[in-house]
Structure 1
Amino acid sequence: MSEIKDFIYLDTNKVSSLYSQISGGLVQSIESTQSNSEDSKNLRNYSFKVFKHEAGGTETESNQLKETRVSHHEVYNELETELFKHGYAAELGVDISKDEIESGEAINSFENVLCIKAEGHVVFEDYQRLTRIAANYEAITGFINKSITSNIKDTPEYIEIYNQLEESRLEIKAMKNGSQKTQKKKQLEIVESQLEELTTTRKVGAVEPWIIDGLKTWVNVFLPDIFNVRLYPFSDMDNFHIMSNVKREFFLEQDIESVHFLYGSVPTIKVSLLGVITAIPKKDSITFEPLKEFDTETIDEEGNEALSVENGFRGVFRGFDGLEAMVRTCRYPRIMVQPIAIYRSILPNPKFQRKA
């Protein structure tokens, strides 16, 4: 028996597009037809007063049961097989080694293949979820800290210090000697600070409002509805991973909060990812300069005002390239892909096979 794929994410549009190109057509569904023939007697009794006569005969009735089912998973399996069969895909650790990535030789392979497949640990980065948490951070931490304080007040350590404070306050109130009273107050302040330290050291730290507001603005401007998945194929190579931006509608579990709850932000299981390569950062700086056409003296000549305006507007976009590079965080030796599928592959385990 071949492996079973437990799909977490499947971009059916991309599967359809690639499969139709590589196979010359697309099977939208698979229809299974089951025929069942049954012989039955069709006998009718006629009375002609003199004698009875059985008229009729034997007929064969054929029933067909048609079952139509969506075949996205099966089409994907065929697509993955065909991509590797025809040389459109490469697998990290199989076709491309860690040594090739470390040396930089893998860039040539990345540039000459459509898809990359890898298995490893993943990290989910849902920026929509991040902004929701940030917007409610103060209320959440306030609730947590009140719960912590409430629990601390029931501990023997807290009760002991609190009782010492109460005794000291009563002693101070009864004192008449000014110098003794002052000395006792200093001792009281020390005990009070100990009590404050006992509660504050266990509380969740507060974040200044400007940080929360800035975070929400940054995400809303540069990362609206972005859901990143980062896959690390080599556990001992921290600087390399595959970056991807998934679309929420292609998660098989449509409730994204359920995905977070089931797998966590850093899932403990390894998964496989197949994606179309979209960005291959180089070790050296980018040599392509889209505004180089304006590096000419003729731009300032009379009658070329349109060139100046175009240069100005297009230069605005290039001015934000630095900010966008900070957001995308796709730098050498990482690569960016558009995910086709994310799944956990399971091979049959002879140890758990039941025998009849």
Structure 2
Amino acid sequence: MRSLKDFIYFDIEKAKSLISQLNDGLISEISRAVEDESEDSAGLGFDVKIVKGSIGEKSREKFIKTEKISVFHEMLNSIEKDLSNNELLTHINKKFEETGLSFNDFMDEIPNYSYIKATGWGGFEDFKRFKRIFSNFNDIQRLIYESQLLNNPELTLLRGQLEDAKKIANQNKDRNNRTKSLTKIKAIEKNIDKLLKEETKVHLFDEGWIEKVKTFLDTFSPNRLNFRLLPLDDFGEFQILANLKDKYMLDGSFENTIFTYGSKPNIKLTVLGVITSSPRKEDIRVKHSDEFLAIDESKLTNEIHFEKALRNVFDSFEAFEKFFFVPNYPKIAISPIAIYREVNIRENTKVQQ
């Protein structure tokens, strides 16, 4: 069935590599609409051309972008067709219905799949955006709730004191006096927060705790953009996880995508990619540290002792990583090629008289 696609994400490099492998050869550079607008040949058998002419820069830029999306459609259609012809693509939603398997039995089949396509309820998790909001959370709360106390005389007095203290701090060139002024500013700010808590329902996080959370996020998930899809309505525990690259967001950045679809879209989305992690109920992997099990501890050299300890440290990191998008059963992870909204076109059938 033919369909219309509104692209949200498209990894052009993965798509080019996959098309090259599926077609037994190295493809040439895709159309200038994708990389270099001076090229006229798509190099993929797609008839995509740019009309030469003196048009305005904005119109020209819009035209280039339109042609670019057109190429993406052709590439994705080609990938889906070739993967299906080689029996490498599994449509998760259809497969679950067709097999008639129980949920648990179907989960046992998932590790046997490679490339998958799935449609369901999606959600984006932008850690960079989360840290920015979290960092400014208290100030946003203060702004909102202080507006409820505009005529409060105590708040007016404290605001005046705060303004005076800041002026004195800016004028003080002496280091000791400036430190005293900053201490006074913090004391007044605490009194304002105390008043807000007494008079409103404001919730403020401890500033020290905010900094610790930011450090934790910076360590384990700096600038991550994740996508989460729930393809089976009755089994929300089965989720498809994908780490995205901001440069392949079709609207230029995730911020623009939020304004279109929202961070938790209320329209079902489709994702296509290759499975990269599929945990089982029972872990069948051979642990890297198992090599030390049969060795007498007393016979280990200092170097081996150090290597063993270091290996254990890396093993412990896996537990931390599970907090940040490393899947556990029955979730799986994929390397995504495309994320889009798909609208199927119903073919018109003519009734013969």
TM-score, reference length from structure 2 = 0.69
Cross-structure match for 2:86: 86
Give the Å deviation of 1:198. Answer: 9.9
Cross-structure match for 1:340: 337
**In the alignment, does 2:312 pair up with 1:315?**
yes
Give the Å deviation of 1:15. Answer: 0.7
Cross-structure match for 1:143: 143
Distance in structure 1 (CA, Å) of the matches to 2:264 and 2:76: 26
Cα–Cα, structure 1 residues 348 and 143, in superposed 2: closer, same or farther, change >3 Å? same
User: Which has the larger strand fraction?
Assistant: 1
Aligned-residue CA RMSD (Å): 2.9
Asked if the contact 1:96–1:106 (Cα under 8 Å) also holds between the matched residues in 2, the reply is no
Kindly provide the amino acid, as one letter, of the partner of residue 340 in structure 2. Y
Asked if the contact 2:247–2:253 (Cα under 8 Å) also holds between the matched residues in 1, the reply is no
Distance in structure 2 (CA, Å) of the matches to 1:350 and 1:79: 22
Distance in structure 1 (CA, Å) of the matches to 2:114 and 2:21: 13
Give the Å deviation of 1:289. Answer: 1.4
Distance in structure 2 (CA, Å) of the matches to 1:243 and 1:149: 45
Distance in structure 2 (CA, Å) of the matches to 1:90 and 1:32: 29
Secondary structure of 2:124's aligned partner = strand
Secondary structure of 2:322's aligned partner = helix
Cα shift readout 1:132-153 (whole Å, capped 9, x = no counterpart): 1111112111111123444x98
Cα–Cα, structure 1 residues 288 and 145, in superposed 2: closer, same or farther, change >3 Å? same
Cross-structure match for 1:283: 281
**In the alignment, does 2:90 pair up with 1:105?**
no
Distance in structure 2 (CA, Å) of the matches to 1:23 and 1:199: 69
Give the Å deviation of 1:21. Answer: 0.8
Give the gaps of 5 or more residues in structure 1: 35-68, 154-195, 352-356
Give the Å deviation of 1:285. Answer: 4.1
Cross-structure match for 1:327: 324
Cα–Cα, structure 1 residues 118 and 22, in superposed 2: closer, same or farther, change >3 Å? same
Give the Å deviation of 1:107. Answer: 2.8
Cross-structure match for 1:265: 263
Structure exhibiting the larger radius of gyration computed from Cα positions: 1
Give the Å deviation of 1:32. Answer: 6.1
User: Which has the larger helix fraction?
Assistant: 2
Distance in structure 1 (CA, Å) of the matches to 2:249 and 2:256: 11
Distance in structure 2 (CA, Å) of the matches to 1:301 and 1:231: 50
How many percent identity over aligned positions? 30
Kindly report which structure 2 residues correspond to 1:53-202, keeping only aligned pairs within 5 A, or say none: 71-97=71-97, 100=101, 102-108=103-109, 110-150=110-150, 199-201=199-201
Distance in structure 2 (CA, Å) of the matches to 1:107 and 1:133: 40
Secondary structure of 1:95's aligned partner = helix
Kindly provide the amino acid, as one letter, of the partner of residue 288 in structure 1. V
Cross-structure match for 2:243: 245
Cα–Cα, structure 1 residues 256 and 77, in superposed 2: closer, same or farther, change >3 Å? same
Cα–Cα, structure 1 residues 319 and 103, in superposed 2: closer, same or farther, change >3 Å? closer
Give the Å deviation of 1:101. Answer: 6.3
Give the Å deviation of 1:76. Answer: 1.6
Secondary structure of 2:93's aligned partner = coil
Distance in structure 2 (CA, Å) of the matches to 1:96 and 1:23: 30
Give the Å deviation of 1:199. Answer: 4.8
**In the alignment, does 2:299 pair up with 1:301?**
yes
Cross-structure match for 2:234: 236
Asked if the contact 2:246–2:253 (Cα under 8 Å) also holds between the matched residues in 1, the reply is no
Asked if the contact 2:107–2:330 (Cα under 8 Å) also holds between the matched residues in 1, the reply is no
TM-score, reference length from structure 1 = 0.68
Cross-structure match for 1:256: 254
Cα shift readout 1:218-243 (whole Å, capped 9, x = no counterpart): 11000111111111112222211111
Cα shift readout 1:280-308 (whole Å, capped 9, x = no counterpart): 11112455211011123355327x33322
Q: 340-349 or 136-145, which moves further after superposition?
A: 340-349
Give the Å deviation of 1:211. Answer: 2.9
Cα–Cα, structure 1 residues 321 and 272, in superposed 2: closer, same or farther, change >3 Å? same
Kindly provide the amino acid, as one letter, of the partner of residue 208 in structure 1. D
Between Structure 1 and Structure 2, how many residues are aligned? 271
Distance in structure 2 (CA, Å) of the matches to 1:17 and 1:23: 10
Asked if the contact 1:11–1:341 (Cα under 8 Å) also holds between the matched residues in 2, the reply is yes
Cα shift readout 1:231-276 (whole Å, capped 9, x = no counterpart): 1112222211111111111111113211122221111111110111
Cα–Cα, structure 1 residues 200 and 349, in superposed 2: closer, same or farther, change >3 Å? farther
Kindly provide the amino acid, as one letter, of the partner of residue 265 in structure 1. S
Secondary structure of 1:266's aligned partner = coil
Secondary structure of 1:206's aligned partner = coil
